[in-house]
Copies of this chain bind each other. A is one copy, B any other.
Amino acid sequence: MSLSMHAASAPVLIRMLGNLLAWLDKAQAHAEARKFDTANYLGLRLAPDMLPFTRQIQICSDGAKGCMARLAGQEVPKWDDTEATLDELRARVRRTIEYVQSFEPAQIDGSEAREILLPTRQGEPLKFTGENYLKHFVLPNFYFHATMTYALLRHAGVELGKRDYLGAA
């Protein structure tokens, strides 16, 4: 017995994206209770040289989308980063969940040794096996941006706790 590549990726991504949707619901309720515009969340940054809230969520989405496409040997679909409201960010997350769900296990399983080339801004792509791409790039990066999203909401006073972060056990 062991973990298939699909079992080690899709359910993990779907679970955390679903948790993220629940955080956004709490963020909405928090804004309504305090009567501020939910758009005020979108530009929040933990430090002036860190990416804002909207980008954290878009990068979570891109990480999940890129993972599934690349492991399946497909071209990664380009989604424009045009979200300008909390509702549009929610729609982006839902679209990402549906995209991840659209892959059959058979499309992902067996991708451990597949060569994954990750474009970089510097020109030379990063080269991974499917296994190392998932373990040492996709998951840490995805959790990084999910955690930053959570941290920004906590910083903004939204009442979130570890149970919200982890979701239903």
Q: Which of A109-133 contact B (CB under 8 A)?
A: 109-110, 112-113, 126, 128, 131
Number of chain A residues close to chain B: CB under 8 A: 40
State A113–B1 Cα separation when bound (angstroms).
9
Summarize A's interface: helix, strand, loop or mixed: helix
Pick the contact of A126: B5, B143, B169 (CB < 8 A). B169
Inside 8 A of A7's CB, which chain B residues have their CB? Answer: 131, 135
A positions within 8 Å CB-CB of B: 1-5, 7-8, 11-12, 15-16, 46-47, 50, 109-110, 112-113, 126, 128, 131, 135-137, 139-141, 143-144, 147-148, 150-151, 154-155, 162, 165-167, 169
